[in-house]
């Protein structure tokens, strides 16, 4: 498994040089809100502030997509992932795809 320290939103990893690009890697998660979660979140909107049910759902979904991206990179023999990004698309009402992607690389210490 690739260490989180070996990922970056930039196109380098400090202290390392990229010796080989292995291509794009991605992690995709499609999630829906539960009826109970939607009702709970609706109640939270009445008092205002952070809608923690949705915040937790979003955070967990992004985390899962990130972990799947790392697994995909590991399958290619990568030591790191650079240019990491997230994207989200509503597939249908209440169902969202979260994509985490980047470029898998092999690295060498500088």
48 φ/ψ angles, rounded to the nearest 5 degrees: 80, 175
8 Å CB contact between 110 and 19 = no
Q: Could you tell me which residues are beta bridge partners of residue 88? A: 98
The C-alpha atoms of residue 60 and residue 12 are separated, in whole angstroms, by: 26
- Which residues of the chain register pLDDT less than 50? none
Per-residue model confidence (pLDDT) at position 49: 63
Question: Angle, to 10 degrees, between the axis of helix 52-75 and the axis of helix 35-47?
Answer: 130
The C-alpha atoms of residue 30 and residue 34 are separated, in whole angstroms, by: 13
What is the model's pTM? 0.85
Q: Could you tell me which residues are beta bridge partners of residue 23? A: 104
Give ∠ CA 35-41-44 in degrees, rounded to 5: 150
Per-residue model confidence (pLDDT) at position 76: 98
Per-residue model confidence (pLDDT) at position 93: 82
Tokens of 103: 């470029």
User: Domains in the chain, please, with CATH?
Assistant: 4-109 (3.30.110.70)
């Amino acid at each position: 498994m690739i260490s989180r320290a070996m990922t970056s939103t930039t196109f380098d990893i400090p202290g390392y040089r990229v010796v080989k690009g292995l291509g794009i890697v991605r992690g995709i998660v499609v999630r829906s809100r539960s009826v109970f979660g939607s009702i709970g979140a609706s109640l939270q909107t009445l008092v205002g502030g952070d809608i923690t049910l949705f915040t937790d759902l979003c955070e967990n979904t992004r985390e899962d997509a990130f972990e799947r991206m790392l697994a995909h990179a590991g399958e290619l023999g990568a030591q790191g992932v650079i240019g990491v990004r997230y994207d989200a698309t509503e597939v249908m009402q209440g169902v969202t795809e979260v994509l985490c992607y980047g470029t898998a690389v092999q690295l060498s210490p500088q």
